[in-house]
Structure 1
Amino acid sequence: MRRTASPLSLILLGLGVFLLVLAPMLAWYVEPRAKRTPVDIDTITVFKGTGSYFDTDKIKTVHDKNLTITRQARGDVDDSDDEHAVWDVVTSVDPDSSLPAADPHDSLQFTTERWVTDRKTNRPVHCCDEKPYFEGEAYLKFPFDVQKRSYIWWDNTLGATVPLTFRGTKKIQGYEGYRFTAKVKPAKTGTRLVPGRLVGQPRRSNVLAEEWYANHGVELVADKRTGRIIYAAIGPRKTLRAPGSDKDETVLLDSKRIAFTTKTQKAQVELADDDSSRLELIGVTLPVGAAVLGGLLAIAGGVLVLRGRRSDSGTQGTNGPGNAAEPNGPSGDTSPTTLQPSTM
């Protein structure tokens, strides 16, 4: 009777092959599709620092005051799709006197923005009522799998891109990310009708003054895998100049450094760690584990199948046709007398 491979050996072999096929699928198919900018977000980041600002009540610049920048980003799930992420962003700048602001419009500065990006590359997509029109590789986040190179960052106040230089690694709340820095030289960003005395022309009632902007320093620390910004610090300076002048006459806003609060740092690190761990599980841990376990199971199943075949072969060699008794031949138990004819 012919024997077949045991069910156990076939199960082990089949499971091993399945895991070996699954491993590259997780790494090359599932993980890349998991690296998509989320659309169902609602996050608040808070910057704090000290500096100067123009007090409209006192009609002069006041100095050494606490300043708070609050930014809320909400994903527009209805307008987003598989390819595009749509985020609505509200940013306000407040001194202590306007906090807590019952209405963001009561803030020192208040802006609304609508960012549309490619969910895979983080590049801008110019659609869906985008505001402002922007370019670059990074703004509210970096692309996935951040590289040790320079990136093009969009400075919304400047209305142009700024090169960010890679500066190594930095730990934020014990979590390591890639650090990038930049500076923005003074640049004209627009005009504003103001009383002449604010730009050194007291004899003129109103002057179309020039608005100028610079940044003492930008520092961003991004999570390597997800591109989430876990730390940010900026040094904005906004001033007024008389038309054609190269001298700042009135300071609207000036701070050497406004940075993420400790609470914001911890929240961003927690989000980055969770997202990064999930991607690592899908892209590294599970594929490697599946490949190793699949290989072991496939080898074990294959060995058992081969042993079963060898056992079958050995059984046929011992009891095969060449060694079987002849069905019509003499029996070893037949005595000689039984073969002699009767004499009776």
Structure 2
Amino acid sequence: MKRVVGTVLFGLGVLFVVLAVGLPLYVAPAVTKLPYDLKKSTSLVEAKNATFLQVKSGTPTIHTSKDLRSTTIVVPQPILTQELQKEFSDKAVVWDVYSSTARIDNGEKISESSTEIALDRVSGVPVNWNGAWVNDGTKTNTKFAGQIYKFPFHTERRDYAFWDGELGATAPPAKFEAVDSVGGVEVYRFKQTIPWFKTVTDETSRAVLLSNFAKTAKTGDIWYRNTRTLWVEPVTGQFLNVREQREQEFRDDAGGKTTLLNADFQYTKETVDKSVVTAKENKTKVQLISLYAPIGLGVLGLILIVVGPLMMRRPSGYNPEHRESGYPV
């Protein structure tokens, strides 16, 4: 009976060792990818006491000391993703992203835009897809680059290229700053610092700004700067907090400066708390498959491989002649 049990234990030990090797090699890569069945998600950032430009009925007005809320809704597109799998080779997902900024006091919208983008399922960077676009009043095909909506699975302590809506792919990188904590979860903190630069101002916007805020000037341009801080859970690459300190000025040739935006946006507590819960769940799934389960199975397998043969051995001192001669064993 011991031989049978020992054989079974030895076989289980070999199986567990094989599983310990196979889980991180074959199963873990499947859970460290953006899923095809990802649910729609919403994130909110708010800016207190902001200064901003609002256009109503064609008339621009500068408001100060008002609170703003920006809403970003990510809607995965599984049907379009499936249709493009031949082109993506099972490596990308398509998302539609809807963004809007509104006043908190009366709900009036200040700006809105929509985006369609294809992201690499592991790195989170945009894939080379001609169907990507941005619509902020005019739909424009866009070649995205760098991190945008998340960081890679197993984010490293290094600098990453990060997309900016104004500079695009030429924006400075998001630089790794420090290991931090959000909601009890270890995160990596990155900061992208965009110094003042002159944006491309269309003639219609320039004319409106000159006629309302710089009547003695002949021309002018919109300048922009931003400091973006990102708190990233490194196993999943998920944002747990985001802060953007955005500023825009209209600078005219008469020396005048008009603040068009000065707002310090940051994730709401609700969004931070929800992100922490989701990150903890996803991190546990990834680590269970890629780390904890392989270690546990490997140790148990080795123990069984050692114990199994020991149980298959007959007791020491056993002599079949004893039984044949009638002496007790």
Q: Report the Cα offset of residue 43 of structure 1.
A: 0.7
Compared CA separation, residues 65 and 289, structure 1 to 2 (3 A): same
* 1:171 aligned partner, one-letter code: S
Structure 2 SS opposite 1:56 = strand
Pairing 1:89-128 to 2, within 5 Å after superposition: 89-99=97-107, 107-127=109-129
Which one of 172, 175, 187 corresponds to residue 197 of structure 2? 187
Measured after TM superposition, the shift of residue 309 of structure 1 is: 9.5
Using the TM superposition, give the Cα deviation of residue 122 of structure 1 relative to its aligned residue in structure 2, in angstroms. 2.1
Of 116-125 and 220-229, more deviation after overlay is shown by 116-125
| Matched residue type, 2:60 | I
CA shift in 2, pair 1:190/1:23, >3 Å: same
Task: Tell me the distance in 2 between the aligned counterparts of 1:247 and 1:90.
Answer: 37
Counterpart-to-counterpart distance in 2, 1:116 and 1:98? 35
1:237, 1:262 → 2: CA distance?
23
The count of corresponding residues between Structure 1 and Structure 2 is 301
Question: CA-atom RMSD, angstroms?
Answer: 2.5
Indicate yes or no: 2:300 matched with 1:293: yes
1:256-335 aligned within 5 A: 257-305=264-312, 307-308=313-314, 314-315=319-320
Equivalence for 1:9: 6
Superimposed CA distance per residue, residues 180-238 of structure 1 (whole angstroms, 9 cap, x where no aligned partner): 1121112233223133324524587xx6x5333211x2110000100000000001112
Alpha-carbon separation, structure 2, partners of 1:201 and 1:116: 44
- 2:78 is paired with a residue whose SS is coil
Change (3 A) 1:311 1:19: farther
Structure 1 runs not aligned, ≥5 long: 100-105, 324-344
The answer on 1:133 being equivalent to 2:123 is no
Asked if 1 retains the 8 angstrom alpha-carbon contact of 2:125 and 2:148, the reply is no
**Unmatched 5+ residue regions in structure 2?**
134-141
- 2: distance between equivalents of 1:268 and 1:141? 12
Give TM-score, length-normalised by structure 2: 0.83
Say which of 170, 176, 182 aligns to 1:166.
Answer: 176
Q: Which deviates the most, 41-50 or 263-272?
A: 41-50
Against the structure 1 CA distance between its residues 310 and 29, is the aligned structure 2 distance closer, same or farther, given a 3 Å change threshold? farther
Deviation string, structure 1 residues 213-272 (Cα, Å, up to 9, x no partner) = 211x21100001000000000011123344xx49663333221x2100000000011111
Residue matched to 1:175: 185
CA distance in 1, matches of 2:297, 2:254: 65
- Partners of 2:217 and 2:254 within 8 A in 1: no
Report the CA distance between 1:94 and its aligned residue. Answer: 1.1
**Counterparts of 1:153 and 1:247 in 2: how far apart (Å)?**
33
The equivalences for 1:8-27 within 5 A come to 8-27=5-24
Q: Alpha carbons of 1:173 and 1:252: their partners in 2 closer, same or farther (altered >3 Å)?
A: same
What is the TM-score normalised by the length of structure 1?
Answer: 0.80
In structure 2, the residue matched to 1:146 is: 155
Match of 1:231 in 2: 241
Describe the shift of the 1:117–1:248 C-alpha distance in structure 2 as closer, same or farther (beyond 3 A).
farther
1:299-324 Cα distance to aligned partner (Å, 9 max, x none): 1111122x149788x43x7789xx9x
Which residue identity is paired with 2:152? P
Q: CA deviation at 1:125?
A: 0.8
SS at match of 1:270: helix
- Is the 8 Å Cα contact of residues 145 and 168 (structure 2) preserved in structure 1? no
Given that 1:27 and 1:282 are in contact with CA atoms closer than 8 Å, whether structure 2 keeps it comes out as yes
In structure 2, do the counterparts of structure 1 residues 310 and 14 end up closer, same or farther at CA, with 3 Å as the change threshold?
A: farther
Provide the identity percentage: 24
Tell me the distance in 2 between the aligned counterparts of 1:45 and 1:30: 30
Deviation larger for 120-129 or 144-153: 120-129
How far is 1:97 from its partner?
A: 4.7
**Distance in 2 (alpha carbons) for counterparts of 1:191 and 1:308:** 89
Distance 1:247 1:226, change over 3 A: farther
Structure 2: distance between partners of 1:151 and 1:283: 24
SS at match of 1:14: helix
Q: What SS does structure 2 have at the residue aligned with 1:151?
A: coil
Q: Distance in 2 between matches of 1:203 and 1:279?
A: 59
